[in-house]
A and B are shown apart, each in its own frame.
Chain A
Amino acid sequence: MSRARSMRVRRGKKKNTGFDVDITSLLDILTILLVFLLQSYNSSGVIINVPKEISLPVSKSESINNFGVNVQVSKSQIWVNDTEIVNTNDPEKEQRFDEGGRRIVPLYNELVRLKETVKQAEKLSPEVKKFQGVVNLVFDKSLKYNYLKRVMYTCASAGYKEFKFVVMSESN
Chain B
Amino acid sequence: MIRIPSTKRKAKKEEKLNLTPIMDAVFIFIFFLLMSASFLKIYEIASDIPIISDQEPPKDQKNPLALTLTAETNSITFSRGIPSRSFKTFKRESNGEFNYEEIHQFLVDLKKQHVDENTIIFEPSGDLTYEEIVKIMDAVRMLNKTDEAIYKKNKDGIDEKVKELFSKIIFSNLMS
Cα-based distance from A146 to B125 in the complex (angstroms): 8
Shortest CB distance A16–B (Å): 13
Shortest CB distance B14–A (Å): 7
Contact with A along B14-30 (1 / 0, CB 8 A): 10110110011011001
Cα-based distance from A88 to B121 in the complex (angstroms): 33
Interface stretch (choices A55-63, A79-87, A90-98, A120-128): A55-63
Contact B129 A163 (CB under 8 A): no
Contact B40 A144 (CB under 8 A): no
Contact A32 B43 (CB under 8 A): no
Interface of A is mostly: mixed
Interface size class of B (residues with CB under 8 A): 35 or more
Interface flag for B87 (CB, 8 Å): no
Task: Known contacts A29-B26, A141-B131; decide if A65 and B44 are in contact (CB<8 Å).
Answer: yes
Which residue among A140, A141, A145 has the maximum number of chain B CB atoms within 10 Å of its CB? A145
Which positions in A face B, CB cutoff 8 Å? 14, 17, 19-22, 25-26, 28-29, 32-33, 36, 39-40, 42, 48, 50, 56-66, 136, 139-146, 148-149, 152-153, 156, 161-169, 171-172
Shortest CB distance B37–A (Å): 8
Contact A141 B134 (CB under 8 A): yes
**B residues within 8 A CB of A141?**
129-131, 134
Contact B43 A63 (CB under 8 A): yes
Interface of B is mostly: mixed
Contact A164 B44 (CB under 8 A): yes
**A residues within 8 A CB of B174?**
149, 152-153, 156
Cα-based distance from A42 to B139 in the complex (angstroms): 25
Interface flag for B126 (CB, 8 Å): yes
**B residues within 8 A CB of A33?**
30, 34
Cα-based distance from A9 to B39 in the complex (angstroms): 58
Seed contacts A50-B42, A168-B43; 14 additional CB < 8 Å A-B pairs: A25-B20, A29-B26, A36-B39, A57-B131, A61-B43, A61-B45, A63-B45, A144-B127, A149-B173, A156-B174, A164-B46, A165-B45, A165-B134, A168-B42
